Amino acid sequence: MLQLRWVAPPQFKIGTLQPVNSTVESLEGNKVKLVVLVEESEFEKNLDDAFKKLAQEVRLPGFRPGKAPRRVLEARIGIEYARQEALRSGLPDYYVNAVKEHEVDVIAPPSIEVTGGEDGGDVTFEAEVEIRPSVSIADYGALEVTVPRPGVSEAEIDEQIERMLGQYGTLETVDRPAEDGDRLTIDIEVWHEDEPVEGLTTTDYLYQVGLGAVVPELDEHLVGAVEGDAFEFVADHPDEDEDEPLEFSVVVNDVQATVLPEPDDEWAKENSEFETIAQLREDLENRLARSRTIQASAARRNSVAEAVSALVDEAAVPEALAAMEAENRLQDMAMRLQAQGLDFEQFFDLGGTTREDFMASVAEGANQSARLDLALRAVAEAEDLLPSEDDLTAEFKRVADEVDRSVEDVRNEFVASGQIPAVRSDLAKSAALDWLVERAILADEDGDPVDAADLELPAEDEDQDDLNDHTAAEIDTAAEIDTAAEAATKTEGNDE
């Protein structure tokens, strides 16, 4: 009997086929068997396609490529070879149609075995495939999670004000020992193996104490220095391959401190959109509070997701499911990188990571995602959170609004591609996570209770919903890619 091992990925989209007779039965080991019958009249279309393909490949005297009639090909080549090709090319499509018909939640490619019709007549085959398992979890009704406490202190507002003031600060010479943050005018000479070091030997160099821009020892000597001080010291060469140290000679010519303007109403009016410093402080407080609320809300949602996924035994996650999640993550990241004009090798170089470490991180995240997937499905089933037809219609409308198409067009496309079960499961998992988040017990880093109401944004603020659509892993990945893209942009600018 002909055996086919279909290597196409388990997530597929394919056009609607003619209905086939099929049944499904459960097997051991989290698998099912699909038994499919394709009537001879239906399979004849696949056979005809196989002969058309052969006509393009076979050269027969008297016929142009692709123009040899089927009856001539049958006489010269025989029907057996074409039938085998029709089976190999056609059966995966019939398998997909049966999967869609029975809404089988496959997580791996199938093993297909032809059981009849190799020589003629109706075609029958069996497909064994691994499916997503169902799990049961307990003690999920009131998960205890830690979240950052929202809120802003006066000291944090002062820090923001000082940061703004720093943009308008002026340097003034001071008659006191130098402190971190002061700028000193120095003459500096550096030798390595009795030769002056180019770029490090200069006069009247304005140096900010505390930056560590040369070697740490320089800052250590400059703290507490006053005008006229001179000193020498030896420091290790920054290049680890150099054994000989660097020799420094430094003279302090001037000590200057940054003097900030007075944060009063006049300064606020001149340098902000507000009339008074009080109004500016209030605006800063509102902005910081909103940011903290968003962060805390995202932390709550992601902490709940981590907590419920931990209730799923790692052994309950099939390797095929984890592999599918890893592939989805890689594809998603590839698209994000492409949008930023990067590839994986550039990402590794800019991020300072290796392919091995990155793949290990992807595998770990995929396993976590698979456990979360199983946990949320279990909660949705146990709490009867499965979506209604109205929920599906609302989702179709949301998608239709995004792509500027009619709801009916969107629905038909989801139906044709067999994605309705996926939409249902996504809505159910989202509802399950919402259910868990609402019932979670919150505490801050010190273990003190946090009121869930403090984590809610105003009703008119849409960012709350935007955050709810993303997991921590997605947010972190996007941030990584944005950072890499920014580094690439800076590199290109430097090259220019």
Residues 150-208: pLDDT tens digits? 889 999 999 999 999 989 999 999 999 999 999 999 999 999 988 999 888 999 999 99
Residues 331 and 242 occupy one common structural domain: no
pLDDT, residue 240, reads 79
Tokens representing residue 428 in the block: 């159910």
Residues 305 and 364 occupy one common structural domain: yes
Tokens representing residue 250 in the block: 């430094």
What lies within 8 Å, CB to CB, of 330 at 6+ separation is 362
Cα 253 from Cα 270, distance rounded (Å): 35
Residues 194 and 303 occupy one common structural domain: no
Centre a 10 Å sphere on the Cβ of residue 300 and count the other Cβ atoms it contains. 20
**What range defines the domain where residue 364 resides?**
296-495
Domain for residue 156, yes or no?
Answer: no
Residues 196 and 85 occupy one common structural domain: no
Domain for residue 212, yes or no?
Answer: yes
pLDDT, residue 141, reads 92
Residues 465 and 332 occupy one common structural domain: yes
Q: CATH number for the domain including 387?
A: 1.10.3120
Place of tokens 């770029």: 199
Domain for residue 428, yes or no?
Answer: yes
User: Which of 108, 87, 107 minimizes the C-alpha distance to 36?
Assistant: 87
Could you give the number of structural domains in the chain? 3
Centre a 10 Å sphere on the Cβ of residue 218 and count the other Cβ atoms it contains. 21
Residues 342-382: pLDDT tens digits? 889 888 888 888 999 999 999 999 999 999 999 999 999 99
Domain for residue 329, yes or no?
Answer: yes
User: Could you give the residue ranges of the DSSP H alpha helices within 103-236?
Assistant: 154-166, 216-222
Residues 23 and 97 occupy one common structural domain: yes
Residues 346 and 475 occupy one common structural domain: yes
- Choosing from 210, 234, 259, the residue where a domain stops is 259
Backbone angles phi, psi at 299, to 5 degrees: -65, -40
Residues 250 and 314 occupy one common structural domain: no
Residue 467's pLDDT band, with cuts at 50, 70 and 90, is very low
Type of residue at 419: Q
Cα 165 from Cα 419, distance rounded (Å): 56
Exposed/middle/buried for 466, CB within 10 Å: 0-12, 13-18, 19+? Answer: exposed
Cα 297 from Cα 469, distance rounded (Å): 12
Record the pTM. Answer: 0.72
Q: CATH number for the domain including 23?
A: 3.30.70.1050
- Choosing from 259, 282, 310, the residue where a domain stops is 259
Backbone angles phi, psi at 202, to 5 degrees: -160, 170
Residues 216-271: pLDDT tens digits? 999 999 999 999 999 999 999 888 788 889 999 999 999 999 999 999 999 999 99
Residues 174 and 125 occupy one common structural domain: no
Residues 336 and 240 occupy one common structural domain: no
Residues 95 and 234 occupy one common structural domain: no
Exposed/middle/buried for 494, CB within 10 Å: 0-12, 13-18, 19+? Answer: exposed
Domain for residue 220, yes or no?
Answer: yes
Domain for residue 286, yes or no?
Answer: no
DSSP state of 447: S
Residues 402-461: pLDDT tens digits? 999 999 999 999 988 888 999 999 999 999 999 999 999 999 999 999 999 988 876 655
DSSP state of 455: G
Residues 118 and 193 occupy one common structural domain: no
pLDDT, residue 495, reads 44
Domain for residue 222, yes or no?
Answer: yes
- Choosing from 214, 241, 259, the residue where a domain stops is 259
Domain for residue 300, yes or no?
Answer: yes
Backbone angles phi, psi at 124, to 5 degrees: -125, 145
